[in-house]
Chain A
C-alpha cells in the first residue's frame, strides 16, 4: 500500500558531468592526491560472499571507446540486504565508483556477487547490480543493471528483465569468463544499445 503526498518543487535540471568529472568524484585517480585521503567507493571489505570481477568497455554510437566516463554501482550484500555499512567504514557499503583504466580503456569492478533483492510485490529479483554512467556528452546520468548469465533460472522470473524485449536482454547480462569472472560491455548508442532504465 502507498500514501500519497503532492509535489511542491521541481527537480533541478541535470547537466553533463563534463570531461573532468574525475576531478570531483575520484580526484586521487586524476593525480590530485593532496585533498582527500582516498577516493570514495573503493576498498570494500565484504565480510562474506563470493568475490567477483566484472570488466568490459563502454562504447559510443560511432564505435569509439568512451574513456572519460565514470561508473557507479550499488548492490545488495550476499543475503540480498540493501541497508549496509557506511561508505568509508570497514563494512561492505555496496557502493563502488569506477573510472575507466586509462591504458586499457576498460572498466573493472571488484565486488561480491549480490543476493536477491525483493521486488515491490515481495517476490525475489534475480541477483543484479545497479549501474549509473556519467560522462562528457551524457546530459543526464544513465541507469542500467548488470545481471549474471549463471543465474538463468532466477533471470527467467525477474520482473525487471521481464519488461525488457527478449532480443535486448543480453545487453544486461554479464557473461561468465572463468571462475568468479564476468564480462559486460555498455553501448551508449547504436547496435546492441544497452537497455537504460527510467527508475
Chain B
C-alpha cells in the first residue's frame, strides 16, 4: 500500500436502480407504434460511472425573454396565440424530496385546435399563425418552474379506429446527470379522455398516472388573464454518494 495519505474525493451521486414497475412497459400492443420499437432483450444493469452521473450544464444566458412564453414566442408583433390562456407551474423534486435547481425543462404541444406545427401532421384542424408550440426554461434555486401557454386541444391519431389523445403537454427534463434524463407528458385534471388513451394505459399503475395529471390552481391564476395548473415532477434521486480515494496532490 502507498504510504501517501489518501484523500476522499466526491466523484458523483449514485442513483438507486429505476423502479420500472412505475414506468410504462416498452411493449404494449394497444399502442401500435411500440410493437416493433420495444427491445425484447433484458436491459443490462451497469455500474454508474462519471459517464452516467455527469451531464451537460445549462446556463441562464442561453435563454431568450420569451423562451417560456408559448403565447408570444412565435406570435407576430402585437398578436398572441389563440386559445385558453394558462400558466403551468410546479416544482421539480428528486426522489429524496429535494428540489432540483437548474433543471432544463423543454415543453412542446399542439395548438388550441389539437394541431401540431409539423410537416408530418395531417389533422384537419387549422394551424394558428401565432403559435409555434415549444418553450423552455431552467428551474430556479429551489426547483420551481413556470411557463405560459394556451391549453392544447385533444386530437385524433392513427392507432385504433377512433383513438383520441387527451389534452397534454410533452415535457423533457434534464437534471444533473444523464441517468436522470426523462421525457413524459402532463395531462389536465378532469379530462375524460385520460382513462381512454392507449398511451396513458402503457402505465400500469393508476397512482403513477395520477401523478402526471396537473391540478387546477386558482391561487396562482391571474384574474381576468390566465388560469393556472400545477404540475410537480420527480426525477431520480441519488441516495448515496460515490467517493474515491485519491492520492494527496492528485
Partner of A135, one of B37, B62, B181: B37
Whole-angstrom distance between the Cβ of B190 and the nearest chain A Cβ: 19
A105 CB–B CB distance under 8 Å: no
Residues on B with C-beta less than 8 A from A1 are 8, 243
A164 CB–B CB distance under 8 Å: yes
Whole-angstrom distance between the Cβ of A165 and the nearest chain B Cβ: 9
Partner of A19, one of B97, B120, B183, B208: B120
Query: Is A32's CB under 8 angstroms from B74's CB?
Result: yes
Beta-carbon nearest neighbor of B205 in chain A: A13
Query: Is A88's CB under 8 angstroms from B233's CB?
Result: no
Given that A12-B211, A24-B172, A74-B51 are known contacts, is A7 also in contact with B16, CB under 8 Å in the complex?
yes
Given that A7-B16, A198-B45 are known contacts, is A24 also in contact with B106, CB under 8 Å in the complex?
yes
Give the docked Cα–Cα distance between A191 and B121 (Å): 32
Beta-carbon nearest neighbor of A198 in chain B: B43
Whole-angstrom distance between the Cβ of A191 and the nearest chain B Cβ: 10
Say which size band chain A's interface belongs to: 35 or more
Query: Is B57's CB under 8 angstroms from A86's CB?
Result: yes
A4 CB–B CB distance under 8 Å: yes
A136 CB–B CB distance under 8 Å: yes
Whole-angstrom distance between the Cβ of B158 and the nearest chain A Cβ: 10
Query: Is B181's CB under 8 angstroms from A87's CB?
Result: no
Partner of A197, one of B16, B36, B43, B136: B43
Beta-carbon nearest neighbor of A6 in chain B: B239
Residues on B with C-beta less than 8 A from A76 are 50-51
Give the docked Cα–Cα distance between A66 and B45 (Å): 25
Partner of B31, one of A3, A23, A137: A137
Residues of chain B in range 85-142 having any CB-CB distance to chain A below 8 Å: 93-97, 106-108, 116-121, 132-134, 136
Residues on A with C-beta less than 8 A from B45 are 163, 197-198
B67 CB–A CB distance under 8 Å: yes
Give the docked Cα–Cα distance between A125 and B48 (Å): 12
B240 CB–A CB distance under 8 Å: yes
Query: Is B37's CB under 8 angstroms from A66's CB?
Result: yes
Give the docked Cα–Cα distance between A93 and B198 (Å): 38
Partner of B202, one of A15, A19, A20, A86: A15
Give the docked Cα–Cα distance between A87 and B57 (Å): 6
Whole-angstrom distance between the Cβ of A55 and the nearest chain B Cβ: 21
- Residues of B in contact with A (beta carbons under 8 Å apart): 8, 11, 14, 16-20, 22-26, 28, 31-41, 43-52, 54-59, 61-62, 64, 66-67, 73-74, 93-97, 106-108, 116-121, 132-134, 136, 170, 172, 178-179, 181-185, 199-200, 202-203, 205, 208-209, 211-212, 233-245
Q: Could you pull out 17 A-B pairs where Cβ atoms are within 8 angstroms?
A: A5-B237, A11-B19, A12-B234, A15-B170, A15-B185, A16-B199, A18-B170, A20-B116, A27-B134, A61-B36, A86-B59, A118-B11, A132-B178, A137-B36, A138-B26, A139-B26, A195-B44
